[in-house]
Amino acid sequence: MNIDQLNTPCLVLNEEKLSNNIERIRNRLDEKALIFRPHMKTAKCIEVGRRMMKSPQGPIAVSTLKEAEKFAEAGVLDILYAVGIAPSKLEAVSALRSRGIDLSIVIDSVSQAEAVAARARLDRDPIPVLIEIDADGSRGGVRFDASEKVLTIARELHAGGAELRGVLTYSGATYECRDVDEIRAVAERERQAAVHSAGLLRNAGFPCPIVSVGSTPTASFSENFADITEVRAGVFAFSDLVMAGLGVCSVDDIALSVLASVIGHSHDGHRILVDAGWMAVSRDLGTASQRVDQGYGVICDLDGKIIPDLIMSAASQEHGILSLRSGSRVSLPNLPIGSMVRILPNHACATAAQHQRYHVVSSGSHVLSDVWERFSGW
Amino acid sequence: MNIDQLNTPCLVLNEEKLSNNIERIRNRLDEKALIFRPHMKTAKCIEVGRRMMKSPQGPIAVSTLKEAEKFAEAGVLDILYAVGIAPSKLEAVSALRSRGIDLSIVIDSVSQAEAVAARARLDRDPIPVLIEIDADGSRGGVRFDASEKVLTIARELHAGGAELRGVLTYSGATYECRDVDEIRAVAERERQAAVHSAGLLRNAGFPCPIVSVGSTPTASFSENFADITEVRAGVFAFSDLVMAGLGVCSVDDIALSVLASVIGHSHDGHRILVDAGWMAVSRDLGTASQRVDQGYGVICDLDGKIIPDLIMSAASQEHGILSLRSGSRVSLPNLPIGSMVRILPNHACATAAQHQRYHVVSSGSHVLSDVWERFSGW
């Protein structure tokens, strides 16, 4: 079957680009002797996950317990649930751990430490915990300079028989950077916050075997990983226009696209309508704050070759409107009704989440080589 | 089971508000002796759809052929697929029609008319077609003043043995309006474009039994439906903050919310973190261009009561950040870790699409009365 026989809209995944993207990050982290813990939040797919992991047993990071359950079923043993735990989710954590999964969790408050300690006592299970450290104020985590709070959390966990496994930082600020130098500066602050907190814990007599940092920009560009033990990253495998805008990859590295059919022309031929709206590409406008605003996505032909200056400039639920960038001097391509295009996404995590499967092809080929199911929900 | 026992994030649907929203629109259109064709694109759920429909057989409008298939399986016979047809989808249209479903489709080009005519000849099936008329340049449709094109499409359909069933307009511009008077003005232009095109076709000897307009703002406020036969609307059933911002409903009418758990506090207690990020509420920021920017959504307590000035101001994939509106004089509520909140969505279509089911409750009750599955994909 060829991809031009697929029902549109749907996802097309270029396996060659996927493999290259994975190899690039993996080689980089191997050279630096770091453990790589790929994040499954983007792909949510066993086949993609297996290509990202070093071993079928992991390690991996996940953003939902649904991901943890699915990858556990597929044989993964070392799973970090990298979102601060809600106490009500501890029962599901226990259930997975009782099946032999080394599921670790993240906390950043004394209140969570108390809940985890209570659960550890109840289950007589040393639930492994990483303390999240906030390096840049972007999201969660204990402020890196709130030493007393970090130590109180550690003491509470220890008293309850939970395992303090380490510290974790996430630098959302890397996504706001304008160039590689800025990314490196932010990543260095992230590293320092993590290493400082690990030192604090160790000096107080607590073990802190894992010092985990991550995000695709950090994993791609940070030069200094001194005293870091592991790196997390997820979106790198598919890559997207936001990553290309940050300089993390080139637009040509993007492995994921949305296949769409032309269904109309309007505005005296200045607009092309396709059957992929925001339901198919998501509402993510992540490049709007970057140097080049790509609208809802960059348009390629069926071979995956970029059509000059053509972007999805507007979207409703099931309609995408393609037009030339303002100021473009090229003319609109001839795309009659029924033609197919491929749309490169702003944000692969958001776009992939709108679909149920990946249609796998190789570069330059229209032949469908495989179909990989993905899962969603919580 | 009570909703505070649900795994978060998840959707909570207030059945009483749902029923009231449906009754309000239905009564309005009944009074005006219009056929109501509710749109299933928001709910994508048989149980909600049945409440929206006048009869278990329909009529309904759908935004995907997947919706058509699911509602056909549930016994609906009169289905309008209200997105311009891609020629490659005609085979699926034929398959549904051969099962006895009165599935009608929409076109706005001679090229589509040719494809439909060819299919009608091949199947010996008078595929019913509505010509989409563009009243405001917002999306698809033949320009209302392009009379010759409308007639060429009609002749092509007729020659192939397809059934010209009518004309259809959609006024996306109603979503950009700032008040009810503007909505009425836009809706009147929409009406005129549809009625003008119907007259054109009838004068040329073509039948045009259906003259269809729609959108929730049009259905809610238009005063003049002269010569219109049917009205389409979808989001009204749940309602959302965009509709409230337009004045179509009050915030208190919104039937859909995302249930979330508090997982942290940051910025010296000025921010509350919940386990519902953009994956759970969608990336839709539809109120950003309205008078009141609601961020990613308005926060209510577990009873559904609005917490003054608290909105979701930022989101990453699985983290929502709650904070007070800038300039607020109230203080942040006490929401310890593990507390639950309900988030009212900007755009119900986008938020619902991120989930697999609705958890049904009544106003003022925490008791889960039902769980309704929804579907997605194409």
Omega prior to B126 cis, within 30 of 0: no
Contact B83 A319 (CB under 8 A): yes
Nearest CA in chain B to A84: B263
**Which residues are CB-neighbours of B366 under 8 A, at least 6 positions away?**
B2, B3, B4, B302, B303
pLDDT confidence of A171, banded at 50, 70, 90? confident
Asked if pLDDT for residue A179 goes beyond 90, the answer is no
Asked if pLDDT for residue A306 goes beyond 90, the answer is yes
Residues of chain A with C-beta less than 8 angstroms from the C-beta of B279: 63, 353
Omega prior to A333 cis, within 30 of 0: no
Binning chain B into helix, strand and coil, the percentages to the nearest 5 are 35, 25, 40
What are the tens digits of pLDDT across the range A121-161? Answer: 999 999 999 999 998 887 899 998 999 999 999 999 999 99
Beta strands per DSSP E along chain A: 10-14, 35-38, 60-62, 78-84, 102-107, 128-134, 142-143, 163-169, 210-214, 230-233, 256-266, 271-274, 298-300, 306-315, 320-324, 340-344, 357-361, 370-373
Q: Give the per-residue pLDDT at B177.
A: 83
Q: Given A134, A273, A280, which is nearest B140 (Cβ)?
A: A273
Q: What is the mean pLDDT of residues A299-307?
A: 96
Q: Give the per-residue pLDDT at B257.
A: 98
What are the tens digits of pLDDT across the range B64-78? Answer: 999 999 999 999 999
pLDDT confidence of A177, banded at 50, 70, 90? confident
Nearest CA in chain B to A173: B316
Contact between B233 and B212 under an 8 Å Cβ cutoff? The reply is no
What are the tens digits of pLDDT across the range A59-87? Answer: 999 999 999 999 999 999 999 999 999 99
Quote the CA–CA distance of A110 and A337 in Å, as a whole number: 60
What are the tens digits of pLDDT across the range A327-351? Answer: 999 999 999 999 999 999 999 999 9
What are the tens digits of pLDDT across the range B271-295? Answer: 999 999 999 999 999 999 999 999 9
Q: What is the mean pLDDT of residues B258-276?
A: 94
Quote the CA–CA distance of B153 and B355 in Å, as a whole number: 40
Beta strands per DSSP E along B275-317: 298-300, 306-315
Quote the CA–CA distance of A129 and A226 in Å, as a whole number: 22
Q: Give the per-residue pLDDT at B235.
A: 94
Give me chain B's average pLDDT, please. 95
pLDDT confidence of B46, banded at 50, 70, 90? very high
| Cut 0.95: pTM above it | yes
Q: Which H, E and C letters describe B58-118, residue by residue? A: ECEEECCHHHHHHHHHCCCCEEEEEEECCHHHHHHHHHHHHCCCEEEEEECCHHHHHHHHH
Asked if pLDDT for residue B336 goes beyond 80, the answer is yes
Quote the CA–CA distance of B240 and B174 in Å, as a whole number: 15
A363's tokens: 């570069």
Q: Is A146 on the interface with B (CB under 8 A)?
A: no
Nearest Cα residue to A135 out of A178, A202, A190: A190
Q: Is B247 on the interface with A (CB under 8 A)?
A: no
pLDDT confidence of B90, banded at 50, 70, 90? very high
Q: Give the per-residue pLDDT at B173.
A: 77
Q: Give the per-residue pLDDT at A176.
A: 80
Contact B337 A284 (CB under 8 A): no
Contact between B110 and A338 under an 8 Å Cβ cutoff? The reply is no
Residues of chain A with C-beta less than 8 angstroms from the C-beta of B338: 86-88, 111, 115
Neighbours of A367 (CB within 10 A): 10
Residue carrying the six token digits 């560009």: A221
Q: What is the mean pLDDT of residues A256-276?
A: 94
ipTM above 0.90? yes
What DSSP element (H or E) covers B212? strand B210-214
The share of chain B scoring above pLDDT 70, in percent, equals 100
